[in-house]
Amino acid sequence: MRIAVINGPNLNLLGTREPALYGSETLADIEKRLLAVAKELGVELTFSQYNGEGEIIDAVHALRGKVDGAVVNAGAYSHTSLAIRDALVGVRIPFVELHLTNIYAREPERRRSALADAAVAVICGFGAYGYELALRGLARTLSARVNG
């Protein structure tokens, strides 16, 4: 099973960007932990991070037929980008939407997701640990679909 982990704008700054809100773990720390979980689950992972909306869309298009699912933290684009949602739906990649913070306890403009209705699940508020929860949940869901 192959799963892509797609990160959006400013997630390259994890560890230094508002650590009281986003934690002190870097994106590299998260990826290292996910690789260990993936090994346990027998999952092959790919990682990417883009600051531009178009770059994310191009990356999603490139995944067509290459992965079984995705963990997507589109950052602030989660709240505004129908284009990213449409790309994920268009290439028929089951995905889990992920947020480090509880978006429903934040500013009003962050309480809406353009991706959620198309996602297999939404995980928010667990910090970096949310990535592991998303990966485990998605792998289990994809496996259940294959095994009936």
Catalytically annotated residues: 22, 99
Interatomic CA distance for residues 93 and 81, integer angstroms:
17
Interatomic CA distance for residues 8 and 49, integer angstroms:
6
DSSP 38-72: HHHHT-EEEEEE-SSHHHHHHHHHHTTTT-SEEEE
Token output for 21: 């809100």
Interatomic CA distance for residues 122 and 97, integer angstroms:
5
Interatomic CA distance for residues 30 and 5, integer angstroms:
11
